């Protein structure tokens, strides 16, 4: 009997794209994993301005781009930041073929709630992104501080991303996704998963304060699954946990752990049957 390779589905966060997983994917053994990078970016500025961003529309694009209907078990879903909310939603959508999830600094859904977000952090983020879209339209280049994370990627990829960040479409894309995360995707982070889905959470220094929303969200995610584990680096931040060559190794370790736990569970189920 041939063993199917696990499909590893990657969802990126805001202000990024499939390139953000460059170090992680470069380490994936093609003989053991089938890596699928989801690209949610618009095809044009017109598309970025007008496209729907409900979860249903995201799911429909995923079905077309990845040929979801042809996916077979086991599938491991990996999501960073707001991509973690999409990963949770995808896990429910794909159902029994999901072997596990890896959530990298996943966004706490309640950070978007007006009663919780008393500093209006999400509103200020939206305003900053929209302002950058207008500045890019008038030729303003990304500032050095905006490129700190990007420049930790492989040199050729970093140069390509820097060029993207000079275009308005990059920022309009991010603006619409940020708005959608607060309006439409947020429910994905609250809804429970089946407790038997293997769950790994990769955390940066965002969880250092035990009473923070991020730390509480991580603890909740780990409690939801009967088989879960946290991979943590207090030296990494929200960007560098995937963009930095060294820190991003934790993501690979988490994927390997989920795959191993799924294999152990599957073998045990076969013996018991």
Contact call for residues 145 and 226 (beta carbons, < 8 A): no
The whole-chain average pLDDT of the chain stands at 90
Q: Is the confidence at residue 175, as pLDDT, over 50?
A: yes
Helices 121-137, 168-180: crossing angle, 10 deg rounding: 160
Q: Is 2 contained in some domain?
A: no
Q: Is the confidence at residue 62, as pLDDT, over 90?
A: no
pLDDT class of 273 with cuts at 50, 70, 90: low
The mean pLDDT of 218-225, rounded to a whole number, is: 93
Contact call for residues 150 and 161 (beta carbons, < 8 A): yes
Q: Is 96 contained in some domain?
A: yes
Q: Which domain holds residue 195?
A: 7-272
In tens, the pLDDT along 78-108 reads 999 999 999 999 999 998 899 999 999 999 9
Q: Is 207 contained in some domain?
A: yes
In CATH, what number is assigned to the domain containing residue 110? 3.40.50.1820
Q: Is the confidence at residue 52, as pLDDT, over 90?
A: no
Q: Is the confidence at residue 268, as pLDDT, over 70?
A: no
The mean pLDDT of 210-233, rounded to a whole number, is: 94
Q: What's the burial of 192, exposed, middle or buried (CB within 10 Å: 0-12/13-18/19+)?
A: exposed
Q: Is 230 contained in some domain?
A: yes
Extract the tokens encoding 66: 């990845």
Task: Identify the pLDDT of residue 39.
Answer: 92
**Which residue has better confidence, 82 or 267?**
82
238 Cβ neighbours under 8 A, 6+ residues apart: 81, 105, 204, 206
Tell me how many domains the chain contains.
1
Task: Identify the pLDDT of residue 199.
Answer: 96
Lowest-confidence pick of 44-53, 160-169, 248-257: 44-53
The mean pLDDT of 7-22, rounded to a whole number, is: 95
Q: Is 255 contained in some domain?
A: yes
pTM reported for the whole predicted model: 0.93
The mean pLDDT of 47-66, rounded to a whole number, is: 84
Extract the tokens encoding 109: 């859904």
Q: Is 1 contained in some domain?
A: no
Extract the tokens encoding 88: 């949770």
Q: Is 138 contained in some domain?
A: yes
Angstrom CA distances, 12 to 137, 143, 179, 212, stand at 25, 22, 16, 23
Task: Identify the pLDDT of residue 42.
Answer: 85
Q: Is the confidence at residue 24, as pLDDT, over 90?
A: yes
Q: Is the confidence at residue 6, as pLDDT, over 80?
A: yes
pLDDT class of 60 with cuts at 50, 70, 90: confident
Task: Identify the pLDDT of residue 1.
Answer: 40
Q: Is 67 contained in some domain?
A: yes
Report the alpha-carbon distance of residue 176 to residue 58 in Å, rounded. Answer: 12
């Amino acid at each position: 009997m041939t063993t199917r390779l696990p499909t590893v589905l990657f969802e990126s966060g805001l202000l990024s794209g499939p390139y953000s997983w460059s170090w992680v994917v470069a380490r994936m053994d093609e003989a053991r994993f089938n890596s699928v990078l989801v690209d949610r970016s618009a095809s044009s500025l017109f598309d970025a301005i007008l496209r729907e961003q409900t979860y249903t529309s995201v799911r429909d694009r995923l079905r077309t781009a990845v040929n979801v209907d042809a996916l077979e078990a086991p599938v491991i879903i990996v999501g960073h930041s707001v991509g973690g909310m999409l990963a949770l939603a995808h896990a429910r959508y794909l159902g029994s073929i999901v072997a596990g999830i890896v959530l990298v600094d996943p966004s706490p859904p309640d950070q978007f709630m007006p009663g919780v977000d008393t500093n209006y952090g999400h509103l200020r983020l939206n305003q900053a992104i929209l302002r950058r879209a207008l500045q890019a339209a008038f030729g303003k280049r990304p500032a050095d501080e905006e490129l700190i994370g990007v420049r930790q990627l492989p040199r050729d990829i970093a140069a390509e991303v820097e060029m993207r960040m000079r275009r308005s479409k990059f920022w309009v894309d991010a603006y619409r996704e940020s708005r959608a995360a607060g309006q439409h995707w947020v429910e994905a982070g609250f809804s429970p998963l089946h407790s038997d889905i293997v769950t790994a959470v990769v955390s940066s220094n965002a969880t250092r304060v035990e009473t923070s929303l991020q730390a509480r969200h991580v603890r909740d995610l780990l409690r939801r699954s009967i088989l879960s584990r946290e991979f943590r680096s207090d030296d990494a931040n929200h960007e560098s946990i995937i963009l930095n060559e060294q820190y991003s190794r934790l993501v690979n370790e988490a994927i390997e752990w989920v795959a191993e736990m799924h294999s152990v569970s599957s073998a045990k189920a076969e013996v018991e049957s």
